[in-house]
Amino acid sequence: MNERQSVLIRVTGPDHPGITASLMAVLDQSGAGIDDIEQIVIRGQLTLGIAVDVPAGRDLLKDILLFGWDQGVEIDFEVIPSTPTAIEPGHVVTLLGPRLSPAELSEATQAIADAGANISRIIRLSRYPVMSYELLVHQGDEKQLRSSLLQVAADNPGLDVAIQREGLGRRAKRLVVLDVDSTLIQDEMIELLAAEAGRLDEVRRITTGAMAGDIEFEAALRSRLALLAGLDSAAIDRAWSNLRYTPGARTFVRTLGRLGYTVAIVSGGFTVFTDRLRDDLGIDQAFANELEIIDGRLTGEIVGPVVDRARKAELLREIATEAGIPLAQTVAVGDGANDLDMLSAAGLGIAFNAKPVVSEAADTTLSVPYLDAILFVLGIKREEVEAADATPDTDTA
């Protein structure tokens, strides 16, 4: 019986074309079999690990060391168990922040270790507009992992931590539904109109209570609209000219479109704005409240049912059903109490610069002011986004 032994070969040094090809040729000549390969290049420096099985007594060392000398790289050997270690599906931890200091990374990785979990891989996702890293972790207690990492984020303002179960579900997201006010845009639509009517302070007080969940949404909406009764419809155009997109909004929507996602906006605001946003950004669907306008003036009422908290979740389900997308493959993004049901219904609910009541309930919380940072939570690298933007296609708005 021809016995074989398993060996882990580590190759480190300056990267250049042909290293892997030359190594494979050496292994082939020695009769080795490949069990596993991992490779990464950081700032031009190669780290390559290969688990091989070789016939017992075969002198692989001499050939590999000669290969290392010829290629200008260092070689390290280690005999390892012949049976691969079984790894159960784990979690993906995404760390985001303006800089991500060693202290922040130390606290986050220590929290992972304290939960009994082990990091098997770290990938940089972005340097801009924020630093972000994806950590694949295995084992450990899920509840403790979540609570410990969320505490680290709470203790470090500016550090965001997203925790998701690894698996096909995470990589199969196909629908993103966004709130609009203070999410897709930096403003509140009704406050843009209120500024035109000279009633901004009164409307803003009601808005604050509604977003925090202290005032029922429909009651707050009707109270604010009543203050706008008589405003001429030309004010809508003036308000639109003052609307500000959230930084990264165009990149976010454009990239999702290129990836084949369905993108929809569901808002407690007004169709006179969301229809324009849909057309300007190339969004697939838009839903909001319809203002009643008679003889060129707002009546202070809306036409049809109110798009409230329950209706937002209902619309998410309807959009997903129409597109043939399971709820597990949906993402919802919002910031206010009116978004809670929608965030809960989605496969992944993201609280974006949200009120405390929303942050506590969502799957993931982001406090960075860039909407395209959500791409990194979805595992999309900044370099991939930039490469796509450098090669414009004719199918994307």
Residue 363 is among the residues annotated as catalytic for this protein: no
* Cα–Cα nearest to 13, from 77, 75, 62: 75
Q: Residue 18 and residue 116: Cα distance in Å, rounded?
A: 40
Six-digit token pair at 219?
Answer: 């009651």
Cα 334 from chain centre: 13
Residue 192: what residue type?
L
Q: What is the CA radius of gyration of the chain?
A: 27
For tokens 């990264």, name the residue: 248
Six-digit token pair at 349?
Answer: 């609910």
Q: At what angle do helices 271-281 and 234-241 cross, to 10 degrees?
A: 50
Catalytic residue among 181, 187, 308, 341: 181
Q: Residue 5 and residue 79: Cα distance in Å, rounded?
A: 8
Residue 393 is among the residues annotated as catalytic for this protein: no
CA distances from 357 to 157, 195, 200, 346, 361 (A): 18, 28, 25, 17, 7
Residue 264: what residue type?
A
* Cα–Cα nearest to 280, from 311, 317, 236, 241: 241
Cβ 370 vs Cβ 248: under 8 Å? yes
392 contacts: CB under 8 Å, gap ≥ 6? none
Six-digit token pair at 126?
Answer: 């972005």
Catalytic residue among 179, 187, 339, 341: 179
Cβ 329 vs Cβ 307: under 8 Å? no
Q: Residue 54 and residue 82: Cα distance in Å, rounded?
A: 11
Cβ 95 vs Cβ 120: under 8 Å? no
What is the chain's length?
397
Residues with a catalytic annotation lie at: 179, 181
